[in-house]
Amino acid sequence: MKEGFIFGGVRHANLLAEIRFDGLGYRQTLRAYEFVRPSFKEELASRDIEIRRLEVFFSRFRIVLWLRLRSGTDRVRDKAVLARAVSSLCQRFCLAIPDTWAKASGLMILVDNEVLPVSAGNLVAGRETLAGNKTIMVRDTQHYWREMARNKVFIDNDQREKRIRQLLHSAASSLGGEIVTSPIINEAVINCEQPVARIVEIASELLDIPEILALIIMEKMRFFALRAAGDQLLSKAVFVCNQGCDPPDLNGELRQARETYAQDLLPSLPQRLQSLKSLCYLSKLGSFYDKQQRLQKSVLSMASQAEAGQEVSDLARQASQMAKLDITAVTCCNHPEFLGHMGAIIALRAGAPEMVASAIIEHWHPSKYSRKLPHTLVGALLGVADRLDCICGQYYQSEFKLSQYRSVKNWFDQMIAIIASVPLDISIVSLLKFSLSLYESQGLVPWRTKDLDYLLKIFADRLYYYLLEMDFLEDVAAVLTAPAPDNVFVVVQKAKTMQDSGLENCVEDCAEVCKLLDRICARDYNYEEAAREFLEQPEEIDLFEVYLGAREEVKKYLQQRNMEQALTRLAKLKNPLLRFINGVDLDTNDQPLRFNRLSLLGEIRQLYHAYGDFSLL
């Protein structure tokens, strides 16, 4: 038990540490918070400082550490220990996130009413802080909180968010509408320590652009849109900012977008296709028109493999022929979040069915602008085809620099999520082969076996992490992705079966068998097919016959996607296998006989691997 803190007879003390900044970006603020909280806990723990309560508050202007702790009887020593902990934190911060620390503008470190002697770079801890633009000299930790409350500065993130939501609700109620749900509430909480709500009037003619485009612009400018009871956008918006700030020119931005959008509607379909031909896709890999041609072939191949039917194939063909036309629109260059929506508008104006327009929108999902997934088969097929083409294109361009490797991982993640959500029962190997060959068929680059192997390794890695995100066990994910997985739908079905509590014994039996086989016969040896004429003893003849029957049944069950029966049938191989191992000499001097027996075991292991590598359990 650590010795109790006694600061002059008081059994606890309050530490207040504030690091001020000259306005961090949103992501900078989040990263700083995520670094500071665990790092400060580590510094305290390493010095045996017992914490009663630690809270960390943050905004783009400051990070505040509020610590209630116990102390020993030596006040001078305790202050020195706390000073070293805070100094070490600042040094770690400076080294870990130098770009963020470069914006640090002030330090205030107090223990109750005393300043701790802390310095970091050119910053020296003092009593000075800011409440908006007002400078305050802080007497003690309680005085800090009183002054912040008096100046309506919300240091506590929860209280700040509550206040902002109250302001939004009050503004919406006064205008007879409701706030459109938006993720910018998170940015408002980080940006606005002294939040106030400003209502901005929008010229009614500026809202005749597509609603989604208006919402995109408002969100980018951090305006909260308002919707009336009839689901129409109101010609007013709410801007949350710090006291004394003015909202940006929303009307000006909407007016410019309206003019640009009107110009983007003018070109005819042939003109758009001609623009697409002149727009380079990737260096030495053709134009966006070439990409759109590849998408058409790829999506039709997938529709055939998925047995989607003629109607879906026809819709997929139409959607792929117009999927990338909106890339030529200036509106989409200015607002890439509008990609897909602009394409849908172009398609509808050209007479395409609603299903085609929906698929063009959906094939952009998910992306960095949206976490949505396609909910139609046509949209899913087009989305998978697009990502496959991006993956192969980036690989051909440079065989992956680091930044492109990240992009390819993201595309695989998106593709896996799309396939699993629909779901699509399709072979990734055949899709990658086809996508790689399309570049070759256009005379761009030839594809090689090593290209496919490398991409499949990345796919297996991303599928493993997808299974973990879906709350499957780590061992199960390893079992199903180790032997080169080929089908997302099949792997997910296998994972569900393996985690069925009623099949736990079957899984254990399969794991025992695979581990036993690995101990007996090496994986790197190229075993030939076992020959019946070399079988002598009853145990090996029995195992051979059982294996032949099991091989056909397991193959049939896997083709039928009956994973429970496949797993159960594999588990039944355990007993005849154990009889074989216990009754047959695997070290006989008769080489043909010995290799035949090992080949039989190697074939059985391959049969198990058709489901998964159970030895990893």
Query: pLDDT for 41-69, tens place per residue?
Result: 999 999 888 778 899 999 999 999 999 87
Given pLDDT bands bounded at 50, 70 and 90, which one contains residue 7? very low
Given pLDDT bands bounded at 50, 70 and 90, which one contains residue 532? confident
Euclidean distance between CA atoms 449 and 373, whole angstroms: 32
219-223, 281-285, 478-482: range with lowest mean pLDDT: 281-285
- Copy the structure tokens of residue 554: 């397991």
In the predicted structure, residue 134 carries a pLDDT above the cut 60: yes
In the predicted structure, residue 285 carries a pLDDT above the cut 90: no
Cβ burial of 478 (10 Å; 0-12, 13-18, 19+) is middle
Using the structure block, give the residue that is written with the tokens 């908006």. Answer: 132
Which residues lie across from 109 on neighbouring strands? Answer: 17
pTM: 0.86
Given pLDDT bands bounded at 50, 70 and 90, which one contains residue 571? very high
Cβ(69)–Cβ(51) under 8 Å?
yes
Percent of the chain's residues with pLDDT above 70: 96
pLDDT for res 2: 35
Cβ(287)–Cβ(276) under 8 Å?
yes
Residues 6 or more apart in contact with residue 449 via CB below 8 angstroms: none
Residue-range domains of the chain with CATH: 13-150 (3.30.70), 157-264 (no CATH), 269-492 (1.10.3210), 500-616 (1.10.730.10)
Given pLDDT bands bounded at 50, 70 and 90, which one contains residue 73? low
In the predicted structure, residue 570 carries a pLDDT above the cut 80: yes
Inter-residue long-range contacts of 336-342, CB under 8 Å, 24+ positions, other chains counted = 336/369, 337/216, 337/369, 337/370, 338/212, 338/213, 338/216, 339/364, 340/364, 340/365, 341/210, 341/212, 341/213, 342/264
Cβ(20)–Cβ(129) under 8 Å?
yes
Q: Is 115 helix (H, G, I), strand (E, B) or coil?
A: strand
Angle 520-475-415 (CA atoms, 0-180°, nearest 5)?
120
In the predicted structure, residue 523 carries a pLDDT above the cut 80: no
Selected residue with higher pLDDT from 90 and 522: 90
Which residues lie across from 136 on neighbouring strands? Answer: 129
In the predicted structure, residue 310 carries a pLDDT above the cut 80: yes
Using the structure block, give the residue that is written with the tokens 């299974």. Answer: 467
pLDDT for res 6: 39
In the predicted structure, residue 9 carries a pLDDT above the cut 50: no
Alpha helix stretches (DSSP H) within 9-101? 26-46, 75-96, 98-101
Euclidean distance between CA atoms 567 and 509, whole angstroms: 10
pLDDT for res 4: 35
How remote is the C-alpha of 556 from its chain's centroid?
A: 36
Average pLDDT over residues 105-110: 96
pLDDT for res 397: 65
Given pLDDT bands bounded at 50, 70 and 90, which one contains residue 588? confident
Strand order of the β-sheet with 195-201 is 178-179, 223-227, 233-242, 195-201
> Would you give the end-to-end CA distance of the chain in angstroms?
41
pLDDT for res 72: 59
Using the structure block, give the residue that is written with the tokens 């145990």. Answer: 539
Euclidean distance between CA atoms 222 and 189, whole angstroms: 12
Average pLDDT over residues 439-462: 87
Mean pLDDT of the chain: 91
Sign of the torsion formed by the C-alpha atoms of 451, 453, 457 and 459: positive
Average pLDDT over residues 527-540: 80
Average pLDDT over residues 103-118: 95
pLDDT for res 492: 97
Average pLDDT over residues 581-597: 86
Average pLDDT over residues 341-366: 96
pLDDT for res 448: 79
Average pLDDT over residues 408-419: 95
Cβ(167)–Cβ(195) under 8 Å?
yes
In the predicted structure, residue 32 carries a pLDDT above the cut 50: yes
Cβ burial of 274 (10 Å; 0-12, 13-18, 19+) is middle
Euclidean distance between CA atoms 122 and 61, whole angstroms: 18
Q: Of the candidates 301, 297, 281, 298, which has an alpha carbon nearest to the alpha carbon of residue 289?
A: 281
